[in-house]
Amino acid sequence: MEPHPVFAALADPTRFQVLTRLAQTGPATATELSSDLPVSRQAVVKHLAALDAAGLVAKARAGREVRYTFQPGPLGDLVQWVEQVGGVWDRRLDQLRRKFE
């Protein structure tokens, strides 16, 4: 079973750094992002493509420049899923706790 695209995108430390930077400081180009990271611009472009495929960034072309913007929607969906799964386990653990009290 393949992991959810958002989990897969966030699992890589460099992608996580790129996304964090975009979320904290706003839109940026691959060149701007690579200046803060120990990887090449080409590597940042590949990471941005993975984040784009997961819906975590949007890109907009302005002339020769492509600016990337953080898109929080998929993270909200992921949070809802985690809360649902957590709620199921909370109920199961409560039942076990009551059984052994």
Q: What is the pLDDT of residue 1?
A: 55
pTM for the complete prediction? 0.77
Residue spans of alpha helices (H) in the chain: 5-11, 13-25, 30-34, 41-53, 73-99
Separation in Å, CA 29 to CA 20, 70, 80, 84? 14, 12, 30, 36
Q: What is the pLDDT of residue 101?
A: 82
What string of pLDDT tens digits covers the 101 residues of the chain? 556 788 888 999 999 999 999 999 999 999 999 998 999 999 999 999 999 999 999 999 989 999 999 999 888 877 777 787 777 777 877 787 888 88
Architecture of 5-71 per CATH? Orthogonal Bundle (1.10)
Residue with tokens 């819906």: 55
> Token pair for residue 41?
């611009």
